[in-house]
Structure 1
Amino acid sequence: MEQLPLGALRAFEAAARTSSFRSAGEELGISPSAVSHAIRKLEYLIGAALFEREGRSVRLNPGGEALLRHVSSAFDEVRLGLETVGARSGNLLRLHCAPSLATQWLMPRLRGLIAEQPGLKVRLSASNDYPAFHNDDFDADICYGPPRQEGLIVCPLGEELVTPLCTPQIAANIRSIADLSAHDLIESDYKRVRWTEWFTANDTTPPSQRGSRFDRSFMAIAAAVDGLGITLESTRLAERELASGQLVAPLKGITRDVSYVGHYLVFPPKAKPRRAVRMFATWLARELGLPPLEF
């Protein structure tokens, strides 16, 4: 044990998890040959081969699979120990969030969150890419749609109401579904509930599509505020614009709106004990008017 280098164990764990010396090197910031050399050294020190090598491909042998189980759990325990006694466990929240929710809902509330938790530092990243939790870059993610990764703790963040939204000036001419055909309908390309589904839910044939298209809800909402047409959006995402009167729901109470679970708080099991994660989950549920999240 005194001779086993920690770097070699890290190289082994990364290569075993990714099944690639190249991917392991990219993750650790070293060359593939350095990964190979570290693993060769580890194999020499313990007196056993860990991989089956076939050309450029590598695959764990039974001994390597057994060691990976122990090494992975050991690294998780080390991380947990450091986070338990370190400042990060309570004072730093590394959060990834779907872009539109981050822009429209989360950012306006960050000041209140930080005021409520003195000393809290938030690192927020917003993109369409799902975070690679195995790199330990993020504590949690608020994703749009069910998460694609397996093995995560998943907390649905309640239902959202999707309804047509527009400026008061445009709304003055809308009294029924039929009136929508005289206006541009703004489309949000990646929305899980789009105009076609909304018209179908209201037993109406969708009109021929005309209007601007955007790939993010926050842009579709901004376009509606600028009077470019009528957008079909979540009232949660358009909360500020509705509260200020910039947007209104012209067919509220007239048509059948669509409700669905759009966002989920997800995080790996190893993040569950982190105080920052548990605090954020409690705050998030309260802000959304939900019962405490169970995980």
Structure 2
Amino acid sequence: MAIHLARRIWTTLEPLHDVVYFGAPIKDAGVGIGLRGYWQTYFAFRAAPLGAVTAGTVVATFAGFHPDMIGKALPDAWVRSTPQQSLDARLTVSTGLLRGAGAGSAECARAVELLVPVQRGADATGRALFAANAELPLSDDPVAALWQLATTLREHRGDGHVAALVSHGLTGAQALVMQVAAGKVPESVMRAARGWSEREWSDNVDELRARGLIKGEPTSSSLTVSGAELLRRVEASTDDAAWNGALAMLSQDASAELAYVLGPLVKQVQASLVPPINPIGMGNE
């Protein structure tokens, strides 16, 4: 089966964005501006474009994280720091990580040239994280600008993915269970990274099993035929929304050039910064 061009572009841009999650200096960057540990840094850095938002806003927009996990980080993060400090810190540390992985100004500048029109023309309807990121100014540093563009377009796809989950009758937590059942991420990794207890995870497994979407036990579930078809439709809707809402502005030649120009950097980031097993599932793409 041919891979949707929107998904191919995602596999190029997602690892560049992901340095803000997996780079070793991220926690220290957050602590350096007053934040408390890795997870408060994660939520503050990612939510910062939205402003000093509440935990409820992040529960709704991020999708999949346990509300209590988010509640431990927000709004306390905004007492310890400010959204602008988080924006500055995340850009600085992410740019440094990309440079450390070999990002050069020339190839990044070309990628920025290709992606700026895509961001400007992208549809923001129902895409809060995308819209908030799109309003941030782009740096004159092409490496920093590339990270921000990769982030903005990544959130565009993510917002569309959340919409696809809702339209197909899945909650954020159920979507995680489905990804585990599909074999993309181990249950132990996904459940811990998103803050769900064993009991809560098991309850979601029970609900999906009752709908005929998965089979097996909570730690060893798999998709049924119906479950695999539902997940395929969700992913197809996500790809279509990303393509029709933004990425179709790239010609096939421009998409190929983007992958070619950024290919060496993406490989180095994946090899040195993004763990092969992670909650995003990039190692399985």
Q: TM-score, normalised by structure 2?
A: 0.26
Task: Write 1 or 2 for the structure with the bigger share of strand.
Answer: 1
Bigger Cα Rg: 1
As a proportion of its length, which structure holds more helix?
2
